[in-house]
Amino acid sequence: MRLIVKLLLSFYLAFSFVAAAQSAESSKPGTSVQRARFEYHSAFLMNLHHFLLDVAIRKKPLQELPWDHAPSEAELTVLKEAVDFYQADYAKRDVMFDATMQGIKRGLSVDDQRRDATGLPIPAPLIAVLNRVAPVYARCIWASQDKSNQDWISQTRQLDAKYGADIQAGIEKYMAHAFPARPIRMDAVVLTGTRQGAYTDEQIVIPSGRPDYQSLAALEMLYHEASHTTVTDAIVTAINNRMKATHHQGESDLWHVLQFFTVGKVTQDVLKQSGNLEYQPYALKNGLYQKAWPEYLGVIDQVWIPYMDGELNFRQAIEQAVDQMPVEKK
């Protein structure tokens, strides 16, 4: 009996030691407790909406679009009326911040195969337009657009399965915040109509048809957009608090610059270390810092890179980054 008790006690102690070691490992910086989960969609109505929006914003000649089957004259008339409808209203709105556009996106987040907008919580005139143009879109171009989306989803799934856990852990470590526990809806559309491409609030809309979102860049941009859901909260709060405390100027893109650099650098490092793959981060390859944020190049070089190299902690990095920004004049 005593022998059995001793054996049970030994097993219990061994189990407790392993569990404690696993718990300590999961609490280390850069070790994600829960994987980010993506729900990938290529939804007909979501794509129809963004197709019309993109054509309306970019004012593309309908006859020059890459149709699978050329529209008839009657179908071109339906398409033109739909594009005119979008140009009169939705093309003038911001897809990210306009409440109407946000509502339309949520309303269209339905079954991928659904082709009838009747009954959805979107404006009645839009329902009528989508229902009228849907058969034309389905016959003339949906097959190739859906294939573009499905190809993008397939390659991105494979990359995420291979490298995503390490990329997520690195982003969480440097951004000091976890990815959401809930699944993140990701809608692939060919083009979004926006200059910047993808956009995200609680769900991601990402362009499968843009050359700069392909291959390894697809993985970086997936995690860049996903980090907009919650991961940037800590860095935005820390920057804003430091700015208020030091009387710096109100609005700043500093958080977005640091987010872009962090996700890109983590992706680059993981691909090199885990796959021996050479990768140039999106913002560097496309000259984004020079075009949009040249004033922050010094912050990246002098503060954020040393932070990611372990020379500064998060608080020190935020303080030094903000302190390099212009001070509000009294």
Same domain, 132 and 164: no
Whether 221 and 297 have beta carbons less than 8 Å apart is answered as no
Co-location of 106 and 241 in the same domain: no
Q: Tell me: do 187 and 247 sit in the same domain.
A: yes
Cα four-point dihedral sign 158, 163, 169, 171: negative
One domain, residues 169 and 136:
no
pLDDT at 30: 46
Does residue 16 sit within a domain? no
Work out how many domains the chain is built from and give that number. 2
In a domain, 71, yes or no: yes
Domain boundary among 109, 140, 171: 140
pLDDT at 208: 98
- Tell which residue, 132, 152, 138, has the closest CA to residue 40: 152
Query: What pLDDT, on a 0 to 100 scale, did the predictor assign at position 16?
Result: 35
Task: Please write down the HEC assignment for all residues of the chain.
Answer: CHHHHHHHHHHHHHHHHHHHHHHHHHCCCCCCCCCCCEEEECCHHHHHHHHHHHHHHHCCCHHHCCCCCCCCHHHHHHHHHHHHHHHHCHHHCCCCCCHHHHHHHHHCCCCCCCCCCCCCCCCHHHHHHHHHHHHHHHHHCHHHHHHHHHHHHHHHHHHHHHHHHHHHHHHHHHHCCCCCCCCEEEEEECCCCCCCCCEECCCEEEECCCHHHCCHHHHHHHHHHHCCCCCCHHHHHHHHHHHHHCCECCCCCHHHHHHHHHHHHHHHHHHHHHHCCCCCCHHHHCCHHHHHCHHHHHHHHHHHHHHHCCCCCHHHHHHHHHHCCCECCC
* Same domain assignment for residues 240 and 294: yes
- Residue ending a domain, among 106, 140, 174, is 140
* Pick from 260, 38, 30, 37: nearest CA to 167: 30
Same structural domain, 124 and 212: no
Range of the domain at 93: 41-140
Task: Examine residue 197 and state whether it is found in any structural domain, yes or no.
Answer: yes
> Would you state the pLDDT for residue 248?
79
Kindly state whether residue 17 falls inside one of the protein's structural domains.
Answer: no
Query: Do 106 and 180 lie in a common domain?
Result: no
Q: How far is CA 237 from CA 51, 101, 229, 234, 293, in A?
A: 36, 27, 14, 5, 20
Q: CB-based contacts of 208: which residues, under 8 Å, 6+ apart?
A: 148, 149, 151, 152, 153, 188, 189, 190
In a domain, residue 25? The reply is no
The per-residue b/e assignment along 39-51, b for 16 or more CB within 10 angstroms, e otherwise, is ebbbbbbbbbbbb
The label of the residue with tokens 């143009």 reads 133
pTM of this prediction? 0.87
**Do 87 and 132 fall within a single domain?**
yes
> For residue 5, is it within any domain?
no
**Residue of 227, 22, 47, 231 lying closest to 133 (CA atoms):** 47
For residues 109 and 185, membership in a common domain is answered with no
Can you give the pLDDT at residue 158? Answer: 98
Last residue of a domain, one of 113, 140, 167: 140
- Together in a domain, 100 and 47: yes
160 located within any domain: yes
Q: What is the pLDDT along the chain (330 residues), one digit of tens a residue?
A: 443 333 333 333 333 323 333 333 333 334 446 999 999 999 999 999 999 999 999 998 999 999 999 999 999 999 999 999 999 999 999 999 999 999 999 999 999 999 999 999 999 999 999 999 999 999 999 999 999 999 999 999 999 999 999 999 999 999 999 999 999 999 999 999 887 799 999 899 999 999 999 999 999 999 999 999 999 999 999 999 999 998 776 678 999 999 999 999 999 999 999 999 999 999 999 999 999 999 999 999 999 999 999 999 999 999 999 998 866 544
Query: What pLDDT is stored for residue 251 in this prediction?
Result: 72
